[in-house]
Structure 1
Amino acid sequence: MFLEEYDVIVVGGGHAGAEAAAAAANMGSKTLLVTMNLQTIGQMSCNPAMGGIAKGQIVREIDALGGYSGIISDKSAIQFKMLNKSKGPAMWSPRSQNDRMRFAEEWRLALEGIPKLDFYQEMVGGLLIENNRIAGVKTSLGIEIRARAVVLTNGTFLNGLIHIGEKQFGGGRAGEKAATGITEELTSLGFESGRMKTGTPPRVDGRSLDYSVMIPQPGDERPEKFSYLNTPVLEVQRDCYMTHTSALVHDLLREGFDRSPMFNGRIKSIGPRYCPSIEDKINRFADKDSHQIFVEPEGWDTVEVYVNGFSTSLPEDVQFKALRSVKGFEKVKFFRPGYAIEYDYFPPTQLKHTLETKLVENLYFAGQINGTTGYEEAASQGLMAGINAHLKLNEKEPFVLKRDEAYIGVLIDDLITKGTEEPYRMFTSRAEYRTLLRQDNADLRLTPKSFAMGLASEERMKRMERKEQKAASFVSFFRETSFRPEDINPILERLDSSLVKQPDKMFKVFSRPHVTMDHMLQLEPVSRFVEEHDLDREVLEQTEIQIKYSGYIEKEKLNADKLHRLENVQIPPNFDYSKLKSLSYEAREKLNAIQPVTIAQAARVSGVNPSDISVLLVYLGR
């Protein structure tokens, strides 16, 4: 069946696998995507939404690099919101509600449109390894498919175990079987593995809900989108709704705690800290008698509803009884109960920055297999693994993003330098250079890099260059053009801002915190410039941010430049830290395990202190 050797085989068709396969194939590698079910490629296993705090920035970065997550999200969106608009632009985070069925369909169609990508439906149960180098995969039917590189993106399927109350059964997702064989093979090769947990809420029949007693949660009045390409902007949106639990709901849930796998010891692994189950919230925040519930439609036409905030593994009868006591859910009908799932992962300190494993050459891990949680985190890793697999096979320099270049760079550096013992989720607080890593400038940061290595298209590059040139021209206009006091003072008076007595450059008055682009557009020279140069909303936003936050941006660039000096101090491969007795014992142990590539990475390893870094710098002659 498989007479040829593939360049890259991607195992798994979730968000990580889809991006990995697309990237490798679009860059020119003959690629095979092997998945247990071709009908669930790009499946949204949990909530029907993309983006959110810091996650929206990641989707924008994936798009800027030439990935598909932003495009697919735009094509299947039913609502769009820019979160945190009341804060500074470093915190603005795009988020979309999506049509679950259309999202998966759009992914499938996009992948089928890539000429160098083949598909095969079957479970991969083993790997072909020759001389510590990957040589292909072995399927459950015993078929051996050879490849020069393999990317594993197994999600929650590796020895997956589903829990609903006291019932448990094997599965990687509701209605789908678990994947077996790979964990055992990797651990026999010397890989360290662990177990993690995640959960999902019940899905219910929207026809049985009373929305009149809930609080509507509409999308933005002027919705934006994820992709920098010409994808559709929403003209009609579907509302979400909000309701709350109550003390009665909590009491009903507590009745089932003795049968909860969370509390009776059946689940021993750690779940996501920032997405706890409803029983965990009640237990940890016992003083609160109410928690928010977000009612999210699963699509344009389906009646299925996702009950966000009610993730649970309690017995199904307890789930049903408690949910019927939530306002608006008094007559609720279940489509399926919530459940928890335990699965195998491999601590990511066993990887290089390219996501290639240290033990087996040309074997890459991406997604939840690395201990992360979330579609966006998985998709970004898949993209980077697919890119780097292709580059290595073609003897090109690896593609590694620094912490000041992308949230993706922060994510991967955190994983391989610090590891994780709980499902890792991205937040803006994890990025020390978040003023540089905004959602609005991901294309300016990353598209030139991607275009240079052959992934981002010429269309992307031209769009980015036009945006950059137009924004730069508009910023120059504000720096060079003066205002007249009689024109600007009426605006300042309405804003209760101090008036000006003489003409000055527009840049100066625009820099005031409460003066916005909408105010400046009331000035005739500004509105005329916008019209003559055909400036769109994206360019206006970019210009405003560059003017208002120029001081912060420059300061962060200086801090990043200081870090780069340490990034440039390379540590020899396989360096033996145990011979440096001046290092603390913990530093020797951690550094030998992680094997950092640069001094800057060594400084980020937990347990390594500044005096240890000084010792390393002295030894390296710096």
Structure 2
Amino acid sequence: RPIHPVYPIARQTAWRPQLPCDLVHTNEATHRVIRENLHRSPIAPGQIEAAGPRYCPSIEEKIVRFAHKTSHQFFLEPEGWATGEVYVQGCFTGLPYDVQYELLRTIPALAEVEIMRPGYAIEYDYVLPHQLTPTLQARHLHGLFLAGQINGTSGYEEAAAQGLYAGANAALWVRDEPPLFLGRDQAYLGVMIDDLITKEITEPYRLMTSRAEYRLLLRQDNADLRLAPVAFRAGLISRERYEAVETKRRAIAEEIARLERTTLHPSEALNAFLQHLGLEPLSAPVSARQFLRRPGATYEVIRQFAPPPHPLAQEVIEQVTLETQYEGYIAKQQRQIERAHRLEHRPIPDDLDYAAVVGLRNEARERLMKHRPRTVGQASRIQGVNPADISVLLIHLERGRRATSEEDDETAPLG
């Protein structure tokens, strides 16, 4: 079963049994086969000039770049429950079929291996960031939504997430409904989309936690609480699932409020239980929530000495505990988000004439005209646009707002 189910436990589908993977290593014979055939690979000699995925080098690249290593790891991953096929993770290659066959058989565990489908190298074109809108719609071809490698990404999860996002926006566009937008503080998907439309891509894009500045809030345990309302509005989940998550949200809020009102009093039984858990004894009355903030404190103490009126689901208890113990850090990140939102969501008119923005550097002007950001926040993340350019842009937007306000005052009917 997944550690953090996306929906309440009762609504989970069965968790399939996991299969073990095996680990094997290349050896000097493997490396000799590869070195002798490097001239037959389009990757090593440079026939494919585009940068490959940073964290997935081919076996040819490994042999050349890490010539001092005597072995490399191959993970043997079962393709499924009903097949004997195994995927060789770590053996990305563009070598011909006969060489692949030979190099695999130099590994003792694969001495009798048969290749079902050989590996291959690919090079693909991608759509430039400024050609995409924040909904992943082609900027100059309305109604065409793009997802996956064509947007410059690499990876199954990255492609699947874009497909979900672009597909939802395509459906909303057809129905003439408001589009789906996700911010950098709402989801890793929001981080990826924002990166794809504002940053220059020089290599296949992979989404990593380090790319998210608000990752303390983008946890796997609260994915349902963050995204169920957005998904429901976009028609991606049923009302039943949405209401299940909202029921969970209310249960969390009610239990946090109850813990604030509930007082734990020192007692012989309580302190004996704390000693059994290796915790400091209680010397004075304290609210149950304040107690839960103690280092090492667990909800089990609450369950024993200040139990809720009704049994709570484990995922509710987990959220109550996390939100209590990390409350200060979470509040600090929320304040950071609020400060960023003042700029992040400041809209930029679609028809803004950047040529008329006085004081804007030529490079910034060109970049902004090229990307056409929706908000000041997006504009600030475009390569080649610096904080001084953003200040100039804000002044221009404020002047435009005041001018519009004055015009409205002049045309308003006299009372």
Cα pair 1:356 1:365 within 8 Å, conserved: yes
CA offsets per residue over residues 37-71 of structure 1, 9 Å max, x none? xxxxxxxxxxxxxxxxxxxxxxxxxxxxxxxxxxx
Map residues 94-243 of structure 1 onto 2, 5 A cutoff. Answer: 225=5, 230-234=11-15, 236-243=17-24
1:615 shift after superposition:
0.9
Q: Distance in 2 between matches of 1:446 and 1:481?
A: 31
What is aligned with 1:508?
Answer: 290
Q: Distance in 2 between matches of 1:460 and 1:477?
A: 26
CA offsets per residue over residues 220-273 of structure 1, 9 Å max, x none? xxx665555823233633222233334553343223222221122321222211
Q: Distance in 2 between matches of 1:241 and 1:359?
A: 48
Matching residue within 366, 369, 373 for 1:592: 369
Cα pair 1:478 1:507 within 8 Å, conserved: yes
Q: Distance in 1 between matches of 2:64 and 2:270?
A: 57
Q: Distance in 2 between matches of 1:572 and 1:359?
A: 17
Q: Distance in 2 between matches of 1:434 and 1:287?
A: 37
Cα distance, 1:546–1:248 mapped onto 2, change above 3 Å: farther
Cα pair 2:7 2:224 within 8 Å, conserved: no
Establish whether residue 539 from structure 1 lines up as the match of residue 320 from structure 2.
Answer: no
Higher relative contact order (CA 8 A, sep 6+): 1
What is aligned with 1:100?
Answer: none
1:296 shift after superposition:
1.2
What is aligned with 2:59?
Answer: 278
Cα pair 2:76 2:87 within 8 Å, conserved: yes
Cα pair 1:277 1:312 within 8 Å, conserved: yes
Q: Distance in 1 between matches of 2:172 and 2:92?
A: 40
Cα distance, 1:327–1:492 mapped onto 2, change above 3 Å: farther
CA offsets per residue over residues 392-444 of structure 1, 9 Å max, x none? 33333222111111111111111011142321111111111111111121221
What SS does the corresponding residue of 2:121 show, helix, strand or coil? Answer: strand
Q: Distance in 1 between matches of 2:383 and 2:316?
A: 41
Cα distance, 1:488–1:590 mapped onto 2, change above 3 Å: farther
What is aligned with 1:573?
Answer: 350
Cα distance, 1:604–1:295 mapped onto 2, change above 3 Å: same
Establish whether residue 408 from structure 1 lines up as the match of residue 408 from structure 2.
Answer: no
Q: Return the TM-score normalized by structure 2.
A: 0.86
What is aligned with 1:66?
Answer: none
Cα distance, 1:388–1:257 mapped onto 2, change above 3 Å: same
Cα pair 2:30 2:103 within 8 Å, conserved: yes
What is aligned with 1:331?
Answer: 112
Q: Distance in 2 between matches of 1:596 and 1:334?
A: 48
1:450 shift after superposition:
2.8
Cα pair 2:5 2:221 within 8 Å, conserved: no
Cα pair 1:570 1:599 within 8 Å, conserved: yes
Root mean square deviation of aligned Cα? 2.6
Partner letter of residue 268 of structure 1?
A: E
1:491 shift after superposition:
5.6
1:317 shift after superposition:
3.0
Partner letter of residue 515 of structure 1?
A: A
More displaced stretch, 225-234 vs 357-366: 225-234
CA offsets per residue over residues 172-217 of structure 1, 9 Å max, x none? xxxxxxxxxxxxxxxxxxxxxxxxxxxxxxxxxxxxxxxxxxxxxx
Number of residue-to-residue matches in the alignment: 397
Cα pair 1:485 1:503 within 8 Å, conserved: no
Establish whether residue 524 from structure 1 lines up as the match of residue 296 from structure 2.
Answer: no
CA offsets per residue over residues 523-563 of structure 1, 9 Å max, x none? 5236x53xx63422322222222122111211111111111
Matching residue within 232, 240, 243 for 1:459: 240
Establish whether residue 250 from structure 1 lines up as the match of residue 27 from structure 2.
Answer: no
Matching residue within 83, 88, 92 for 1:311: 92
What SS does the corresponding residue of 1:243 show, helix, strand or coil? Answer: strand
Partner letter of residue 514 of structure 1?
A: G
Partner letter of residue 317 of structure 1?
A: D
More displaced stretch, 602-611 vs 413-422: 413-422
1:497 shift after superposition:
4.7
Unaligned runs of 5+ in 1: 1-79, 82-222
Q: Distance in 2 between matches of 1:402 and 1:544?
A: 26
What is aligned with 2:219?
Answer: 438
Cα pair 1:253 1:318 within 8 Å, conserved: yes
1:495 shift after superposition:
5.9
Cα distance, 1:308–1:428 mapped onto 2, change above 3 Å: same
What is aligned with 2:341?
Answer: 564
What is aligned with 1:300?
Answer: 81
Cα pair 2:148 2:160 within 8 Å, conserved: yes
Q: Distance in 2 between matches of 1:248 and 1:494?
A: 58
Cα pair 2:7 2:245 within 8 Å, conserved: no
What SS does the corresponding residue of 1:423 show, helix, strand or coil? Answer: coil
Cα pair 2:349 2:374 within 8 Å, conserved: yes
Q: Return the TM-score normalized by structure 1.
A: 0.59
Q: Distance in 2 between matches of 1:513 and 1:280?
A: 48
Cα distance, 1:302–1:572 mapped onto 2, change above 3 Å: same
Q: Distance in 2 between matches of 1:296 and 1:432?
A: 33
What is aligned with 1:549?
Answer: 326
Cα distance, 1:516–1:583 mapped onto 2, change above 3 Å: same
Unaligned runs of 5+ in 2: 400-415
Cα distance, 1:393–1:255 mapped onto 2, change above 3 Å: same
What is aligned with 1:614?
Answer: 391
What SS does the corresponding residue of 1:436 show, helix, strand or coil? Answer: coil
What SS does the corresponding residue of 1:339 show, helix, strand or coil? Answer: coil
What is aligned with 1:99?
Answer: none
Indicate the structure (1 or 2) with the bigger Cα radius of gyration: 2
What SS does the corresponding residue of 1:269 show, helix, strand or coil? Answer: coil
More displaced stretch, 545-554 vs 265-274: 265-274
Q: Distance in 2 between matches of 1:341 and 1:439?
A: 33
Partner letter of residue 412 of structure 1?
A: I
Matching residue within 334, 337, 360 for 1:583: 360
Q: Distance in 1 between matches of 2:17 and 2:125?
A: 41
Cα pair 1:245 1:327 within 8 Å, conserved: no
Cα pair 2:76 2:89 within 8 Å, conserved: yes
Cα pair 1:224 1:233 within 8 Å, conserved: no
CA offsets per residue over residues 441-493 of structure 1, 9 Å max, x none? 12211212232344421111111012112222332343333344544545654
Establish whether residue 357 from structure 1 lines up as the match of residue 159 from structure 2.
Answer: no
Cα pair 1:260 1:315 within 8 Å, conserved: yes
CA offsets per residue over residues 336-378 of structure 1, 9 Å max, x none? 2211122232123201111111112222212221111222222
